[in-house]
Chain A
Amino acid sequence: MVGKTLGFLAQVAPWAVVSGLAYAAAFVKPGVQPLPLPQPLIEPRDRFYDVARSGDGRFWFSGSHGVVLEGTPDSAQWHRFTLPEPVNLQGVAASDDGIIVTAGNEGWVFTGTGGEDWQAQHLPVSDVAGKLVDVIWLDGQFWVIGEMGAVFRSDDDGQNWVDLGMDEDISLNDLARSPDGTLWIAAEFGTLFRSKDGGATWTGTELGAESLRALAFHGDDGVIAANGGVVYRTADGGQSWRRVQTPSREHLYDVAWDGQRWVVTGNGGSLLASDDGAEWTSIAPDGLGSGYYTRLVTTGKGLVLAGQTIGEVVDGQWQPWPPAGARNGEDQP
């Protein structure tokens, strides 16, 4: 009986082997263990446009595709937030109480405190050009400016917004206040606006053909960063402006007083400094990217830059952010 069974099995076995292999050939495919592809802290295609520092020392970067990045240079735990609308977030600002407001394309404004919950608002902007270019925290108020002369102000931490728009086809790029309380707006095609009534009415002045990108005051001294490596300086609180050509021909996007000198940044990794706004020299450290930088924030010990890459210039050294080994504390799909 056993012999017969074994004999039968021997007869069948070769066909079984071939049949098994034929089945495998038909149905077995090379397997793949799918990688989760977790959201990295920074993607190669991320672009940042603005950075703000909140009172607790945290930095907030706003960028393309609705991304807000939050972290501190000495922390390995950073947070990447993807806001509900995947629009490019052009500006970000933090109030003294730690309220974060970021604004971007199509009139979108988001308000948060650093957690997952961001309150979205859609401001009434032009259907043709509705980009909100910048958010500024100024003396207890949030200001948002943008295309088509859009100006909005919030007196309650971004909950409600007052429309102070100019109703002009012009893109507004930056807003600042001079010591005498005058509000100034740098706008495209060389136009500089000023308002002595808190933004209710605006008066424009043509400084030249190149678009004005940013402005800042230190006492009565002020500097405007403009396209083509041009800056405008004033020593009388904005009564008069004088054109200065820096050694760079690149567009300059931001200017700040770091406590000792004026610093401007812009395209092509431009980073220039001047004690008086008249003579400029490059202070770009080795390793600073050749791409653009749209915002610089002074920290007391250095300069934080936001743009094609983000990082800090300390003691003439470029330290890219997030620091090596930093992880995304809020992994999102």
Chain B
Amino acid sequence: MISRVARSLSEFCIRHRKPVVALILLATAAMALTLTHIDVRTEFSDMVPSNHEFVDVHEAYKETFGGSNKVSILVQANTGTILTQPILQEVQRITRALAKVSGVNPFQVVSLASRKLKSVKASSMGIESVPLMWPDVPTTQAGIDELHDAIVNNPLVYGIYVDRNLQSTLIQMDFYDRLVDYNKIFPQVQAILDESPVKDQVSLHVVGEPILYGWVNHYLDETVMIALMSLGGMLLALFLLNRTWRGTLLPLVSGVVSCIWALGIGVLLGFNFDPLVIVVAFIITARCFSHAVQMITRFDDLCDGEQLAPERAAELTMKELFRPGLLGLVSDAGAILCVVLTPIPLLQKVSIIGAIWVMTIGFSAVILTPVLLSWVSTPLRVAHPLNLRFLLNAVLLVAVKVVETRVRYVVIPVVLVLMGLLVAEASRITIGDATPGSPILWEDASFNRDSALINSRYPGTEQMFVVLEGDEQDAMKRPDVLAWMQAFQRRMERMPQIGGSVSLADIVVDVRRNLYEGNPRYRELGATQIENGELISFYMQGAAPDDLAQFADPVFQNGSVVMYFRDHKGETLRQAIYQIRRFIKEHPLEGVNVRLAGGSLGIIAAVNDILLSDQIESIALALLVVIVSCLAVYRSSASGIFFIVPVLISNVVTFAYMAWQGIGMSISTLPVVALGIGLGVDYAFYIVDSIKETLEKEPTIDPMDAIRQALFSAGRGVLLTSVTLAAGVLLWSLSSLRFQAEMGTLIGLWLLVSAFTSLFVMPSLVRVLQPKFIFGDRTENADSADETERLAQSTH
């Protein structure tokens, strides 16, 4: 069936090659026009998984208890304390300017200069609640001294917004999630900081999700530059190794056509493109190159080896490689499409676009490339005198020797032992982030340095909140509820990764202390719900209605405990979630339902929670696609296990590398792994199918000769593409974005492992196991070592 389709299609395409090319080029031009509307940006909502209890809590309470897009700005005095008029004025200037940043919630800009931070003063005469430094900065030393006293006596400010040495202060801002646009926030905040009139007196440091993704966008030009350099590097490698213009330019044409089609369809679907997943685009382009190179390699073999005319050679190339090409593409597309089941919008978009992109290769590489090859003039000429093919042949000779000799019997046990060791290493992989700072940027990036600085001076830059949902109004004023909050905070703060926490209980005890002349012996909860209500009323005297919004809703039915974390490593979050659940179980609270967890870390914890199962699910489904594809093409489920081998090896090696290098499994690595499965299986398809094709075409041929031919034909294409692409992706290691550098390395590793598995393991498996779906009922004849030498010579 497939053979018939392949024959008909190849005959049709070559016979009508001009209309076919015209049609493809017209479609490409049309798609190119849509690219003027391409939307390159990161959207936080794309990374929020649906149908997770943490996300439900976050969505329900993010507007009050804290969103996931907080930005913290540290104003640090270069010498002495921040309690000087110029520095305090600078805090005021920044605070006022931040209120105008795009998407900001102006009521959630909190600093010494905002009306949110108050001093609750008490004496024998009474109690009053006044902003610390709003609306004006103190102009006299006495005023500054008074501010100093107000700061150090306010536990909700001292150590939280001003460090204990008084050398720095924090300004925090939050955004309306629906209005967040990282492309605007980052430059606007940077501009405010750059305008500082007291740069000689302070250093300014800024962190937060909008800033992080702002940095990613900031490096977009560099990312594009590296992608182009990488592309150039691959083309150069192709040119050097292939020695032909067609071998260099046709993969490029094929890659460009696919890229334009896929991005154009993405624009038509209304998708935005996250700069972080540009590596995914790169992998798919690599797939496209690989298919095109296979076509060109086979075309060259047919023209050079069998002296066929280009038109005929092109038609045969398309016909012969249609089956493995289609199999590879369907497997690739199916594998990436499996990721659509992950309930994370970003991954769903990547999955859909990825699958579309992969399928476009069917037009750009499997059809367009051989059609364009049909115009090649003969005899085939080399474009430069430097012949590096001996390098490829040397490797291929070794591959053949492995199959020819008894070494082939050692391959399986050696692979099994190696896999056992690597699985042990891979099992250490971290789910979630493995580093304290952002894994997207390098450790010494200014964002991560700023983050480390703030975490060293303050409780932590990232937050998670749990919600207490009462069954009646004023439930949060109950003494047992407030005592629960206190006990919970004490327990959680035992975790070294949690720098601190705040809750309504902290407000109540502080007001009570102040009500009793500031006597610390009275820093405790009220004895009754009514007393606590009165204490809260004292606090609210002269306060804005939303001043307590971070701690409780307006009717005090629901409240929060906000925890500040020093890092967001996967292990930290799992430990925190475990400890929270344990505490809730050990300390049930009547009439109150405690729910976790919101805030930026609640979302990350939710992602981490589903990541492992989704990763395994993706692998399982991707393998299922491979097996079903094999079943459809080879009518043998046994073929499935055969092609799973390179996939499993590539997976295990890559995961082991990630564990070894401390690269955590994250939302961003998931599509890379899913695509990697396609990478792992494609090479094997080409080599094994080539063996099968030869055996079918020449029923009397010695199987070893078929393997040998496959290695020197399809194997050469495999080696060529893998080395070329691996060389290209190495350039990604120059990226200022650590994530892209690491993913580049991972892809390079994956390509090489897949290729070398296909070259050194699969042929041995074929010869040792002699699977029926390849060999049918035939048996192997004696080896022919002379044939090896002949084939090696023929490829020079």
Which of the listed residues A37, A65, A189 has the most CB atoms from chain B within 10 Å of its own CB?
A37
- Asked if B128 is an interface residue, CB under 8 A from chain A, the answer is no
B617-A10 in contact (CB<8A): no
B638-A37 in contact (CB<8A): no
Q: Specify which of B493, B520, B582, B620 is in contact with A25 (CB 8 Å cutoff).
A: B620
A15-B575 in contact (CB<8A): no
Q: Specify which of B578, B611, B620 is in contact with A32 (CB 8 Å cutoff).
A: B578
- Asked if A40 is an interface residue, CB under 8 A from chain B, the answer is yes
A21-B623 in contact (CB<8A): yes
A290-B494 in contact (CB<8A): no
A10-B494 in contact (CB<8A): no
Which residues between 611 and 644 of chain B lie within 8 Å of chain A, taking CB atoms?
611-614, 616-617, 619-620, 623-624, 627, 630, 636-638, 640-641, 644
B494-A43 in contact (CB<8A): yes
- Asked if A2 is an interface residue, CB under 8 A from chain B, the answer is no
In the assembled complex, which residues on chain B have CB atoms less than 8 Å from the CB atom of A289?
164
Which of the listed residues A90, A289, A290 has the most CB atoms from chain B within 10 Å of its own CB?
A290
Given the known interface contacts A14-B640, A227-B517, the answer about A25 and B124 at a Cβ–Cβ threshold of 8 Å is no
A contacts with B, residue count (CB < 8 A):
57
A71 smallest CB distance to B (angstroms): 20
A10-B638 in contact (CB<8A): yes
B616-A10 in contact (CB<8A): no
- Asked if A265 is an interface residue, CB under 8 A from chain B, the answer is no
Stretch at the interface among A44-52, A117-125, A296-304: A44-52
Which residue of B is nearest A133, CB measured?
A: B521
B521-A11 in contact (CB<8A): no
B493-A43 in contact (CB<8A): yes
Given the known interface contacts A10-B641, A11-B637, A267-B518, the answer about A21 and B494 at a Cβ–Cβ threshold of 8 Å is no
Please, how many angstroms separate the alpha-carbon atoms of A14 and B490 in the complex?
52
B493-A251 in contact (CB<8A): no
A17-B644 in contact (CB<8A): yes
Please, how many angstroms separate the alpha-carbon atoms of A269 and B616 in the complex?
57
Given the known interface contacts A49-B521, A209-B124, A251-B519, the answer about A13 and B153 at a Cβ–Cβ threshold of 8 Å is no
A15-B637 in contact (CB<8A): yes
Q: Flag B164-183 by CB within 8 Å of A: 1 or 0 each.
A: 10000000000000000000
- Asked if B495 is an interface residue, CB under 8 A from chain A, the answer is yes
A245 smallest CB distance to B (angstroms): 15
Given the known interface contacts A15-B637, A18-B623, A210-B124, the answer about A30 and B582 at a Cβ–Cβ threshold of 8 Å is no
B153-A25 in contact (CB<8A): no
Q: Flag B517-561 by CB within 8 Å of A: 1 or 0 each.
A: 111110110000000000000000000000000000000000000
A25-B614 in contact (CB<8A): yes
B contacts with A, residue count (CB < 8 A):
54
In the assembled complex, which residues on chain B have CB atoms less than 8 Å from the CB atom of A38?
494
Which residues between 18 and 70 of chain A lie within 8 Å of chain B, taking CB atoms?
18, 21-22, 24-26, 28-30, 32, 34-35, 37-40, 43-45, 47, 49, 64-65
Q: Flag B114-148 by CB within 8 Å of A: 1 or 0 each.
A: 00000000011000000000000000000000000
B517-A211 in contact (CB<8A): yes
- Asked if A7 is an interface residue, CB under 8 A from chain B, the answer is yes
Please, how many angstroms separate the alpha-carbon atoms of A10 and B205 in the complex?
60
Which residue of B is nearest A36, CB measured?
A: B494
Given the known interface contacts A7-B638, A32-B578, the answer about A22 and B620 at a Cβ–Cβ threshold of 8 Å is yes
Which residue of A is nearest B611, CB measured?
A: A30
11 extra interface residue pairs, beta carbon distance < 8 Å, beyond A30-B431, A64-B524, A289-B164: A14-B641, A24-B613, A25-B620, A29-B612, A32-B575, A34-B582, A38-B494, A228-B123, A290-B152, A291-B152, A307-B520
- Residues on A facing B (Cβ under 8 Å): 7, 10-15, 17-18, 21-22, 24-26, 28-30, 32, 34-35, 37-40, 43-45, 47, 49, 64-65, 88, 90, 105, 131, 133, 188-189, 209-211, 227-228, 249-251, 253, 267-269, 289-292, 294, 307-308
16 pairs, A vs B, C-beta closer than 8 Å: A11-B637, A13-B640, A13-B641, A14-B630, A14-B641, A14-B644, A28-B612, A30-B611, A32-B574, A105-B524, A131-B521, A189-B124, A227-B124, A227-B517, A227-B518, A289-B164
- Residues on B facing A (Cβ under 8 Å): 123-124, 149, 152-153, 158, 164, 431-432, 486, 489-491, 493-495, 500, 517-521, 523-524, 570-571, 574-575, 577-579, 582, 608-609, 611-614, 616-617, 619-620, 623-624, 627, 630, 636-638, 640-641, 644, 771-772
Instruction: List 4 A-B pairs, minimum CB-CB distance, nearest first.
Output: A14-B640, A21-B620, A10-B638, A25-B617
